[in-house]
């Protein structure tokens, strides 16, 4: 059954205006856009983060007292329960790209996800949206992919009515994908294409993703479903690097890097404070990251929610200009 047919008839507000929504990880890249979208709609937003002092910048997104950062560690039972108390809906965005100390994939994306879901169930929360990732698979060669799948399973067990969202890579002004490779292109004569750069991705604009998540929160009919969010284009990693170089006006060698060589490099870079590449990421880069045919057919996509995905070519020039030699004053030939 398509979301565009029967489910759309059920898209009536699930939460009263002014209801409380708790957003775990709300100070991050995606979180700030979700908090903004919720505040504009009139909801009260509790931003649950490990360091509330780093989330104060979110307060002006609403009227006085509408957006409130609170301390919560997804690994701590008591703080999670306190963060969901009184909330009508909860959104969990917490995830990791690499492990560090006690912040492991299993502790955060598996056990932490289950902890949030159990707290929501015990507190009588009406709606739970859990943001996972395309590539979540219990048979994934990647620790990240397996932990994401385990987190989804834990959420389903504790809160069966939860809605799960699996996005492809997310792009926007503060992203860690295009910005990272653009910064690399500013210094390096070549950009590496792990495995030849043949992996397919479907980048989704952060504001589109945020809008989709908020629609799942505020409307009935999408419980117990898993949505997959991607942009309008499926491109190989090589094609994305070509788009990036065209937007920053730089010519660089796109150098195919065999997987074994990438693994050797990642073995050493994983020990850096903010590693550009880890062995687990190399394994993940061998898997396509696109919306499945089943999700497209069943309408479990942005389009199924009435959100038209924004093309890369519209957004990339608006924030990658800072990597051009003369910044926004340099004219780039789009051909």
Q: What is the pLDDT of residues 289-323, one digit of tens each?
A: 999 999 999 999 999 999 999 999 999 999 999 99
Tokens of 304: 């199924």
CA atoms within a 13 Å half-sphere pointing along the CA-CB vector of 317: 13
State residue 150's pLDDT score: 97
With tokens 């903004």, the residue in question is 36
State residue 275's pLDDT score: 85
- Per-residue pLDDT at 11 exceeds 50: no
- Per-residue pLDDT at 100 exceeds 60: yes
- In angstroms, the CA 320 to CA 290 distance is 24
**DSSP label at residue 13:** B
pLDDT: is 35 or 333 the higher one?
A: 35
**DSSP label at residue 108:** I
Q: What is the DSSP string of 313-327?
A: HHHHHHHHGGGSTTG
Nearest to 28 by CA among 164, 131, 160: 131
State residue 16's pLDDT score: 60
| Region of residue 52 (left: phi > 0; alpha: psi -120 to 50; beta: else) | alpha
State residue 141's pLDDT score: 93
- In angstroms, the CA 151 to CA 20 distance is 24
State residue 159's pLDDT score: 98
State residue 241's pLDDT score: 97
CB of 8 closer than 8 Å to CB of 219: no
Helix 112-123 crosses helix 143-158 at what angle (to 10 degrees)?
Answer: 10
With tokens 């989330």, the residue in question is 55
pLDDT: is 84 or 220 the higher one?
A: 84
Pairing of strands 89-92, 20-24: parallel
Average pLDDT, the chain: 91
Tens digit of pLDDT for each residue in 228-246?
A: 999 999 999 999 999 999 9
Nearest to 210 by CA among 74, 28, 4: 28
Q: Could you tell me the pLDDT band of residue 285, with boundaries at 50, 70 and 90?
A: confident
With tokens 């294409």, the residue in question is 193
- In angstroms, the CA 95 to CA 288 distance is 20
Average pLDDT over residues 117-122: 98
State residue 161's pLDDT score: 97
State residue 277's pLDDT score: 86
Q: Which residues is 100 bridged to in the sheet?
A: 103
- Per-residue pLDDT at 186 exceeds 50: yes
- Per-residue pLDDT at 125 exceeds 80: yes
């Amino acid at each position: 059954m398509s979301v565009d047919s029967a489910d759309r008839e059920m898209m009536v507000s699930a939460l009263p205006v002014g209801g409380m929504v708790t957003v775990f990880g709300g100070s991050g890249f995606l979180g700030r856009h979700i908090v903004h979208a919720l505040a504009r709609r009139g909801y009260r937003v509790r931003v649950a983060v490990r360091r509330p002092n780093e989330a104060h910048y979110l307060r002006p997104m609403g009227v006085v007292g509408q957006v409130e950062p609170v301390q919560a560690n997804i690994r701590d039972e008591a703080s999670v329960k306190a963060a969901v108390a009184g909330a009508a809906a909860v959104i969990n965005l917490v995830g990791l790209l690499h492990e560090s100390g006690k912040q492991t994939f299993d502790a955060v994306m598996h056990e932490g996800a289950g902890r949030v879901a159990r707290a929501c169930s015990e507190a009588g929360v009406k709606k739970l949206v859990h943001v996972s990732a395309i590539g979540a698979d219990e048979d994934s060669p990647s620790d990240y992919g397996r932990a994401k799948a385990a987190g989804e399973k834990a959420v389903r067990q504790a809160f069966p009515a939860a809605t799960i969202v699996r996005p492809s890579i997310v792009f926007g002004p503060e992203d860690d994908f295009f910005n990272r490779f653009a910064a690399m292109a500013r210094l390096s004569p070549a950009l590496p294409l792990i495995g030849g750069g043949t992996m397919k991705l479907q980048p989704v604009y952060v504001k589109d993703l945020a809008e989709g998540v908020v629609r799942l929160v505020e409307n009935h009919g999408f419980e117990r479903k898993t949505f997959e969010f991607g942009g309008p284009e499926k491109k190989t990693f090589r094609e994305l690097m070509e788009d990036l170089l065209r937007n920053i006006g730089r010519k660089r060698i796109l150098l195919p890097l065999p997987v074994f060589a990438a693994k050797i490099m990642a073995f050493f870079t994983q020990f850096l404070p903010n590693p550009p590449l880890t062995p687990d990421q190399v394994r993940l880069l061998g898997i396509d990251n696109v919306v499945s045919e089943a999700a497209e057919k069943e309408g479990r996509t942005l389009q199924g929610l009435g959100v038209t995905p924004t093309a890369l070519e519209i957004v990339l020039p608006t924030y990658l200009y800072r990597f051009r030699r003369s910044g926004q004053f340099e004219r780039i030939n789009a051909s």
